[in-house]
C-alpha cells in the first residue's frame, strides 16, 4: 500500500508537470511564414523584411522567417489574410486595418471619411488609448498584435479628368478595397465603386475597364500606376491605412519568453523604420516626390480648405452611418483624441514638436 501510494504521488506529480510544461518547450518550426499584401519594394515590404531579418539574427536562427509578399499565401485575395492568420494557415503577418476590417469591424475607424487631419492625429489614435483598445480586439481573435506601422493616407487617381469637387467623380468607375464602407463613400460622391483584388485592379486599369483607384502615394509609385493611365491624382487624405505587426497566438505561445521579447522589440523597431519610410517625401532617386510625379506627366491637384469641405459634406451621411456600425463610444473617443491633438499642435509651446 505504501509503494502504491508513493507511485500514485509520483504519477500525480508527473501529470502536473506535464500540464505546467510551458508551451515554449514545443519544437520550433524550421521556417515561419510571414504574409504581406504588397511587394517587397514598398515601405511596407521593407519594414516587414527588416523585422524578419532582425528576428533571425537576434535569435541566432531559432526563429527563421520567410516573407511572402503579394498576398500569395491567400491566392492574391488580401481580404482572406486575417482569417488565414487566425486559423494558423500562416504564422505571422503585417496587415492592413482596411483588409482586416471584415474580421475586426472597429478597424473601420480609420476609414471614416475625413476623420483624420494629418499624421499627428493618426499618431494620437494608434499610440494612445484608441490604439490599445484596438489591440485588445485583435487579441480576442487569437492573434498577438505587436506594433503599429503605416501604409499612409490614401489619395485618389484616375485616367479621365482632374478631381477637385464631388461632381468631378460622377460616373467614374473606381476600384475599391473589399470594404462596404468604401462602397458607401464612393457611391455618396457619385462614382461607381467596384471591389476587386489588387492584381485584378492592375489588369482592369490597363484595359480601361475601370477609370481609377485610391491608394497611398507609395503604392502608386511602386506600382508605377502612371504607366497604366493614371494621369490625374488628387491629394485629399480622406482616410489613412495603418498596418499591424502580428503573430498567430499558438505560434507566439510556442516560443520562449526571451524569444517573444526579441520578436516584439524587433517589431517595434521595424515599425518605426517602416513609418519613417512611408512618410518620407523623397524617392530613392533623391528627387522630390511630387516633382518626380509631375515630370512623369501626372497632374497633381491639391484641395484647398473650401474644396475639401465639399467632400466632407458630401460624405457626412456615410460617416454618421458608419459611426454607429464601428461603435459610437470608440469613435467619440477617437474624435476627442483628434480634436485634442489639433488644439495642442497649434499651441505656441509645442512649436518645436515634430
| Structure confidence at residue 287 (pLDDT) | 58
Q: What is the CATH number of the domain that holds 39?
A: 3.40.190.170
Residue 135 lies in a domain: yes
Residue 226 lies in a domain: yes
22 vs 70, higher pLDDT: 70
Residue 164 lies in a domain: yes
Place of cell 504574409: 35
* Enclosing domain of residue 117: 32-281+288-339
Residue 27 lies in a domain: no
User: Number of folded domains in the chain?
Assistant: 1
* Residue 346's pLDDT band (cuts 50, 70, 90): low
| Structure confidence at residue 20 (pLDDT) | 40
Provide the CA 320 distance to its chain's centre, in angstroms: 23
* Chain segment 248-296, per-residue pLDDT in tens: 999 999 999 999 999 999 999 999 999 999 988 544 544 577 888 999 9
- φ/ψ of 45, rounded to 5, equals -65, -40
* Chain segment 141-164, per-residue pLDDT in tens: 999 999 999 999 999 999 999 999
Residue 148 lies in a domain: yes
* Residue 1's pLDDT band (cuts 50, 70, 90): very low
Residue 348 lies in a domain: no
Residue 63 lies in a domain: yes
| Structure confidence at residue 76 (pLDDT) | 81
Residue 4 lies in a domain: no
Percent of the chain beyond pLDDT 70?
Answer: 88
| Structure confidence at residue 2 (pLDDT) | 45
* Residue 178's pLDDT band (cuts 50, 70, 90): confident
Place of cell 491567400: 74
Q: Which three cell numbers stand for residue 20?
A: 505546467
Amino acid at each position: 500500500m505504501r509503494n502504491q501510494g508513493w507511485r500514485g504521488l509520483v504519477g500525480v506529480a508527473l501529470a502536473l508537470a506535464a500540464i505546467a510544461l510551458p508551451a515554449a518547450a514545443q519544437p520550433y518550426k524550421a521556417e515561419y511564414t510571414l504574409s504581406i499584401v504588397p511587394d517587397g519594394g514598398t515601405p511596407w515590404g521593407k519594414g516587414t523584411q527588416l523585422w524578419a531579418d532582425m528576428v533571425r539574427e537576434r535569435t541566432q536562427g531559432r526563429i527563421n522567417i520567410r516573407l511572402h509578399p503579394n498576398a500569395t499565401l491567400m491566392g492574391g485575395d488580401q481580404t482572406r489574410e486575417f482569417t488565414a492568420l487566425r486559423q494558423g494557415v500562416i504564422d505571422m503577418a503585417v496587415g492592413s486595418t482596411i483588409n482586416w476590417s471584415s474580421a475586426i469591424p472597429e478597424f473601420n475607424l480609420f476609414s471614416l471619411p475625413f476623420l483624420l487631419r494629418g499624421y499627428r492625429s493618426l499618431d494620437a489614435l494608434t499610440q494612445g488609448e484608441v490604439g490599445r483598445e484596438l489591440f485588445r480586439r485583435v487579441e480576442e481573435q487569437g492573434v498577438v498584435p505587436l506594433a503599429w506601422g503605416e501604409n499612409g493616407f490614401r489619395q485618389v487617381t484616375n485616367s479621365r479628368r482632374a478631381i477637385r469637387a464631388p461632381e468631378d467623380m460622377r460616373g467614374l468607375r473606381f476600384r475599391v478595397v473589399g470594404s462596404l464602407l468604401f462602397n458607401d463613400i464612393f457611391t455618396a460622391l457619385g462614382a461607381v465603386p467596384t471591389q476587386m483584388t489588387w492584381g485584378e485592379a492592375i489588369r482592369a486599369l490597363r484595359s480601361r475597364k475601370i477609370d481609377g483607384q485610391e491608394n497611398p502615394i507609395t503604392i502608386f509609385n511602386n506600382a508605377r500606376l502612371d504607366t497604366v493611365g493614371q494621369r490625374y491624382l488628387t491629394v485629399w487624405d480622406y482616410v489613412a491605412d495603418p498596418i499591424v505587426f502580428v503573430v498567430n497566438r499558438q505560434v507566439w505561445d510556442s516560443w520562449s519568453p526571451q524569444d517573444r521579447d526579441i520578436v516584439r522589440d524587433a517589431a517595434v523597431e521595424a515599425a518605426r523604420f517602416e513609418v519613417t519610410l512611408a512618410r518620407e517625401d523623397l524617392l530613392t532617386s533623391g528627387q522630390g516626390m511630387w516633382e518626380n510625379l509631375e515630370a512623369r506627366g501626372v497632374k497633381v491637384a491639391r484641395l484647398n480648405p473650401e474644396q475639401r469641405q465639399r467632400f466632407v459634406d458630401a460624405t457626412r451621411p456615410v460617416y454618421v452611418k458608419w459611426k454607429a456600425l464601428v461603435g459610437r463610444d470608440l469613435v467619440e473617443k477617437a474624435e476627442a483624441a483628434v480634436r485634442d491633438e489639433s488644439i495642442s499642435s497649434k499651441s505656441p509651446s509645442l512649436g518645436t514638436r515634430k
